[in-house]
Amino acid sequence: MFKPHVTVACVVQAEDSFLIVEETIHGNPRWNQPAGHLEADETIVQAARRELWEEAGIHAQPQALLRLHQWIAPDKTPFLRFLFAIDLPKRVTAIPQDDDIDRCLWLPADEILASGQLRSPLVAESILCYQQDKRYPVDILNSFQWPFAL
């Protein structure tokens, strides 16, 4: 049976800048959107909110679903990645709550797209998806008979 990793990511934009989280992987700084794995007792949207809080210290609700990517990483790990958009009225101070995140940066799209520090090609693809301005309602991901409190 095929069992891909289910992950979430948030493209957070404010004042024409995008929130990037930086972590050290194999001794090198790598950039990503606030992102991570779905936990057993949470919905996809709850996972996105949790990851944004853990990686950037920001409480915000995903405003739109941008894309669902099915991807196989270079190490052959399969992923389903739910990508959300969050537009903030202004840049806020982002403080990682997760010790694995070194710092948060607000950067223009061009700098992110040109960077050699991206954790995966999905980081650039996520910015490009955001720029395409296609949005889907978050409630398309409603949970059915969810046994845990929402």
Domain spans of the chain, in order of start: 5-140
Query: Can you tell me the mean pLDDT for 25-37?
Result: 97
- Give every CB contact of residue 29 below 8 A, 6+ residues apart in sequence: 22, 23, 102, 117
Domain 5-140 grouped into CATH 3.90.79.10: yes
For 68-111, the pLDDT digits (tens) are: 999 999 999 999 999 999 999 999 999 999 999 999 999 999 99
Query: Can you tell me the mean pLDDT for 124-138?
Result: 96
For 136-149, the pLDDT digits (tens) are: 999 999 888 778 76
pTM: 0.94
For 39-71, the pLDDT digits (tens) are: 999 999 999 999 999 999 999 999 999 999 999
> What's the rounded Cα separation, in Å, for the pair 91 and 127?
17
